[in-house]
């Protein structure tokens, strides 16, 4: 569980694909308390920055990273960090719900089984808690053995959130988790984020400025691979320091 006083400190982070930098020399403190949103026009490097936090960029063969991400006394980018173990503490939800071709129950049990948890009572309890946190329990509690694909798109995304929460991560990364969903399904996910943020640090990429304004406590604005400005969401949206930020949030480009 998040130590709510802390920060995740990104220092001089550069991420390249081949020779081409996608983000350059980013310095950013992400507070463990609350929700941080990454905003900026398409291609500015939001997903690339997000994927650095759990080393998902390692999975892209052409991708290389330099700099540091300091968290709880460790540099997450150093060679002695095991990305697989890191991803238990820093889990991720993607734009498109990636449910597995198995039952609703087994989708949530997935990470727990990999960790070797076999006790049925304990599994059941964690699965119920995770589905509750994902605002899905009431809708699925009587159909846990059904195929996950029988769920609606919005339910599938909440199932992915339940799966991501089941291993009790400290940080949850969300990459445009509602961009494929209708307004009602989107609202449910925005609401559940307001609840889970009490126990997990949420970092969310969104192309929707209204969503960032509604749900985040802190906002970081990126443009062409550079961090332009970061701070409390209220301040970024009402009195940004940089002219470029003001132009973006008032919809003059992007
Ligand atoms: N797997 C990849 N291989 C090569 N270039 C990539 C890859 N992913 C992203 N990029 C490039 O990196 C830059 C930032 O992309 P991305 O992080 O996806 O931005 P955003 O999420 O803000 O739209 C873009 O120029 C994009 O084309
Ligand atoms: Mg992206």
Does 211 fall in a domain? Answer: yes
| Residue 240 CB less than 6 A away from ligand 1 | no
Q: Quote the ligand 2 centre to 248 CA distance (angstroms).
A: 17
Does 201 fall in a domain? Answer: yes
- Residues in contact with 76: Cβ distance below 8 Å, sequence separation at least 6, in sequence order: 52, 53, 55, 68, 69, 70, 86, 90
pLDDT in tens, the chain (254 residues): 444 679 999 999 999 999 999 999 999 999 999 999 999 999 999 999 999 999 999 999 999 999 999 999 999 999 999 999 999 999 999 999 999 999 999 999 999 999 999 999 999 999 999 999 999 999 999 999 999 999 999 999 999 999 999 999 999 999 999 999 999 999 999 999 999 999 999 999 999 999 999 999 999 999 999 999 999 999 999 999 999 999 999 988 87
Q: Quote the ligand 1 centre to 48 CA distance (angstroms).
A: 6
- Closest ligand 1 atom to residue 50 Cα is 17
* C-alpha closest to that of 89 among 168, 199, 5: 168
Number of domains in the chain: 1
At 5 the pLDDT is 76
| Residue 153 CB less than 6 A away from ligand 1 | no
Angle at the Cα of 235 from the Cα atoms of 10 and 161, rounded to 5 degrees: 55
Does 147 fall in a domain? Answer: no
At 252 the pLDDT is 84
102-113 burial: b if 16+ Cβ within 10 Å, else e = ebbbbbbbebbe
Give the range of the structural domain holding residue 39, as residue numbers without chain letter: 7-98+171-249
Does 149 fall in a domain? Answer: no
Going by alpha carbons, the residue nearest to atom 12 of ligand 1 is 22
Q: Quote the ligand 1 centre to 93 CA distance (angstroms).
A: 17
Does 146 fall in a domain? Answer: no
Torsion on CA atoms 8, 14, 16, 20, rounded to nearest 10: 150
At 2 the pLDDT is 45
Does 243 fall in a domain? Answer: yes
| Residue 43 CB less than 6 A away from ligand 1 | yes
pLDDT in tens, 30-77: 999 999 999 999 999 999 999 999 999 999 999 999 999 999 999 999
| Residue 45 CB less than 6 A away from ligand 1 | yes
| Residue 22 CB less than 6 A away from ligand 1 | yes
Counting ligand 1 atoms within 8 A of each CB, the residue from 37, 40, 48 with the most, and so the one to mutate, is 48
| Residue 110 CB less than 6 A away from ligand 1 | no
Closest listed ligand to the CA of 95: 2
Closest listed ligand to the CA of 176: 2
Element (H, E) at 90: strand 90-93
Element (H, E) at 184: helix 183-196
Q: Quote the ligand 1 centre to 245 CA distance (angstroms).
A: 21
Q: What is the CATH number of the domain that holds 19?
A: 3.40.50.300
| Residue 42 CB less than 6 A away from ligand 1 | yes
Does 205 fall in a domain? Answer: yes
The Cα 55–Cα 76 span in angstroms is 8
Angle at the Cα of 71 from the Cα atoms of 70 and 77, rounded to 5 degrees: 50
Does 234 fall in a domain? Answer: yes
């Amino acid at each position: 569980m998040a130590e709510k006083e802390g920060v995740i400190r990104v220092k001089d982070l550069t991420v390249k694909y081949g020779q081409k930098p996608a983000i350059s020399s980013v310095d950013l403190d992400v507070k463990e308390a609350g929700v941080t949103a990454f905003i900026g026009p398409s291609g500015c490097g939001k997903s690339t920055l997000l994927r650095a936090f759990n080393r998902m960029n390692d999975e892209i063969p052409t991708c290389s990273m330099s700099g540091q991400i300091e968290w709880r006394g460790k540099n997450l980018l150093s060679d002695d960090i095991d990305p697989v173990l890191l991803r238990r503490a820093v889990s991720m939800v993607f734009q498109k719900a990636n449910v597995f071709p198995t039952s609703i129950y087994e989708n949530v049990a997935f990470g727990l089984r990999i960790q070797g948890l076999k006790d049925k009572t304990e599994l059941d309890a964690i699965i119920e808690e995770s589905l509750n946190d994902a605002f899905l329990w009431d809708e699925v509690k009587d159909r846990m053995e059904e195929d996950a694909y029988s769920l609606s798109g919005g339910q599938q995304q909440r199932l992915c959130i339940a799966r991501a929460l089941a291993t009790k991560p400290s940080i949850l990364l969300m990459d445009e988790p509602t961009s494929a969903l209708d307004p009602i399904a989107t609202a449910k996910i925005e609401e559940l984020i307001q609840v889970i943020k009490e126990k997990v640090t949420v970092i969310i990429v969104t192309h929707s400025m209204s969503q960032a304004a509604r749900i985040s406590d802190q906002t970081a604005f990126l443009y062409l691979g550079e961090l332009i400005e970061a701070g409390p969401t209220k301040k970024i949206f009402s009195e940004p320091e940089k002219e470029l930020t003001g132009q973006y949030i008032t919809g003059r480009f992007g």
